[in-house]
Amino acid sequence: MTKPGLKPKLDIESGPFILPPLPYDEGALAPIISARTVGLHYGKHHKGYVDKLNDLVKETPFATMSLEEVVENTAGQAKHSKIFNNAAQAWNHAFYWNSLSPDASMPGAALGKAIDRDFGGMDTLKKHLVALATDHFASGWAWLIVQDKKLALIDTPDAHTPMTEGATCLLTIDVWEHAYYLDRQNVRKDYVAGVVDRLLNWTAASANFDKTL
């Protein structure tokens, strides 16, 4: 495992899909998420999805598609479920790392207004997001999305992503046990509450939101 403070070395030689670099050092999210958890989550789990995807798409039409196109073209098709699972997890994880930041951030003007309009304010959004992510049954994801021009919070099981339902994703929280178990054991709520309180990247969420206007 890479030491905290050092960027992991990227493996980009094995296929068309690459493991994008972490946007910060592995130790940057501590103490909410430890360097050890980020190192394993990014360097083993996320990398594993990318590597497996590259194996699965060899000599198929999916090998020349973008990652988003693979996800969209395999969603809901039983015969492509392995490719979907690995492609969606590769996309979800890249999106997750960019949903977090060690730097304090605030929503931009347009997103801030939409949060007031659709949730009655940031405190209510955060309360609902913590509850949704904590209560999600088994493995999956909690998301802030835009659908039909409104903000919404939804959870998805396993590798599923709102991208395939016509939604624009603004932020996500990984609630698979590998995201928190080393740090928090079974107390998912402590991880989720820490992420929502301290680590969500509202600058990235605002940039995603502004593209929907």
Which residues here bind Fe ion, judged by CB under 5 A? 174, 176
Question: Which residue's CB atom is positioned nearest to Fe ion?
Answer: 174
Closer residue to Fe ion in complex, CB, 136/146: 136
Nearest distance, CB of residue 89 and Fe ion, angstroms: 7
Written in H, E and C, the secondary structure of the chain is: CCCCCCCCCCCCCCCCCCCCCCCCCCCCCCCCCCHHHHHHHHHHHHHHHHHHHHHHHCCCHHHHCCHHHHHHHHCCCHHHHHHHHHHHHHHHHHHHHHHECCCCCCCCHHHHHHHHHHHCCHHHHHHHHHHHHHHCCCCEEEEEEEECCEEEEEEEECCCCHHHHCCEEEEEEECCHHHCHHHHCCCHHHHHHHHHHHHECHHHHHHHHHCCC
Nearest distance, CB of residue 67 and Fe ion, angstroms: 16
Closer residue to Fe ion in complex, CB, 74/89: 89
Nearest distance, CB of residue 183 and Fe ion, angstroms: 13
Of 201, 188, 89, 168, the C-alpha closest to 81 is: 89
Nearest distance, CB of residue 180 and Fe ion, angstroms: 10
CB 8 within 8 A of CB 97: no
Nearest distance, CB of residue 109 and Fe ion, angstroms: 32
Nearest distance, CB of residue 79 and Fe ion, angstroms: 25
